[in-house]
Amino acid sequence: MNNILRNTDICKIDLSNKLYTLDPQSHPLFSLLKSAKKDREICNPIFTSNSIKNSARILRRNICVEGDHIDSMYLRLRELREYAIDIEKILWFEDVFPDPYSDKSQDLIPNAYDRAGYRTTRGVFKSYKLGVHVDSSISLHEERFYDFLREGFTYGSSEKYLFVDIISYDKIQKFNLILEEVKLFDSVDALRNVSPFGICNIIKNPVFSKGTLALLDLESVKYVHFRNRDTYLRTNVQYRFEDCDISEEEIDRLTKNEKRVDMVITEFGLDFNSPYKNLIQLVK
C-alpha cells in the first residue's frame, strides 16, 4: 500500500487560498468574495455589522482516502469541489438557529449551536429579508429587466454583480443588450452590460432555482472567517475520535484496513450590511 496511506502523522494543511479556485463557476459568490479580497478576520463567533448580527458557521466534511496516490488525490479534489459548493449554498440560503433557551428568537448565543457540534450563519437571502420584501409576482422580460436594474442601482456602487439561475441567464442573453464576456478577478466568467444605471456583471449561478435574480453590491457583502482558521485540512483524523464525525466502529474498520480519513474544516460567516444597496427578485 502506498506510503501516504500508512503515514499516521496528523497534519494541518491550510487551504484558505486554494479551495475557492477549484471550479469557481460552480460556486461563484464564494470565489468572487475570496478573489476580490472581500473578506475579513473575526475573533468571536458572534459578529455585528451595521446593527445586523450574525454568527460564524463551522462546516466539516470527512474524506475517506483509499487506493493508490493518484486515486486518493482525485478523490480529495472531488470532495473539495463538492465542499466548496456547500459553502456557496450556505452563503446564500442558510439561516441561524435561535437559542432554544432564549425568549428572543433573534438572539444568537454560540453555546446553543456548539451543543449540536456546529454553529450556523445567516446567508444573503435571510439577511436581505430582514429589511426588504421579496416580490415573486412578475415575469422576466426585457422591460422588466431594465426596471430591475434601475431600482437596483438606486443606492450603492456604480458596478454591481447580478447572480441569476441558468434559465434566466439564457433569457437575458436573448434580450437586446450589449453584452461583453469578461472574467471577474481572473476567477469567474460573466457577461458585462454597461447600462444607463451602472455596470452590471451577469453571473450564472448553478445553485439557484428557476426565476432567481440577486443583484449584489460587493461593498456591502464580505466573507468572514476566524483568524488562521479559514479552511484547513486535517489528515488522519481516524486516530483522534473527538475530531471525527463517524462512529468508533467505522474508525476501527478503516484503521484495520489501513484506510485513512482526512477532514476539511471551514469556520466562516457572511457579513451582509446595508441591504438597501442590493436587490433580490424572484420571477416567474
Which positions ≥6 away from 66 have C-beta within 8 Å?
A: 5, 72, 75, 257, 259
The CA distance from 179 to 176, in Å, is 9
Q: What is the pLDDT of residues 83-134, one digit of tens each?
A: 999 999 999 998 876 543 344 444 444 444 444 445 778 899 988 875 565 6
The CA distance from 251 to 265, in Å, is 19
Domain ranges of the chain: 3-123+222-272
With vertex at residue 32, the alpha carbon angle to CA 27 and CA 33, rounded to the nearest 5 degrees, is: 105
Share of the chain above pLDDT 70, in %: 74
Q: What sign has the CA pseudo-torsion 236, 112, 33, 188?
A: positive
In this prediction the pTM is: 0.83
Q: What is the pLDDT of residues 200-256, one digit of tens each?
A: 999 999 999 998 999 999 999 999 998 888 999 888 776 654 445 556 566 566 555
265 sits in which H/E element: strand 260-272
Q: What is the 3-state secondary structure (H, E, C) of 130-143?
A: CCCCCCCCECCCHH
Question: 200, 193 in Cβ contact below 8 A?
Answer: yes
Which positions ≥6 away from 4 have C-beta within 8 Å?
A: 65, 69, 72
pLDDT score of 102: 41
Share of the chain above pLDDT 90, in %: 43
129 sits in which H/E element: helix 124-129
Task: Please name every residue paired with 48 in a beta bridge, in sequence order, or none if there are none.
Answer: 53
Mean pLDDT along residues 7-19: 79
Q: Comparing 59-73, 177-191, 245-259, which segment has the lowest mean pLDDT?
A: 245-259
Which positions ≥6 away from 146 have C-beta within 8 Å?
A: 195
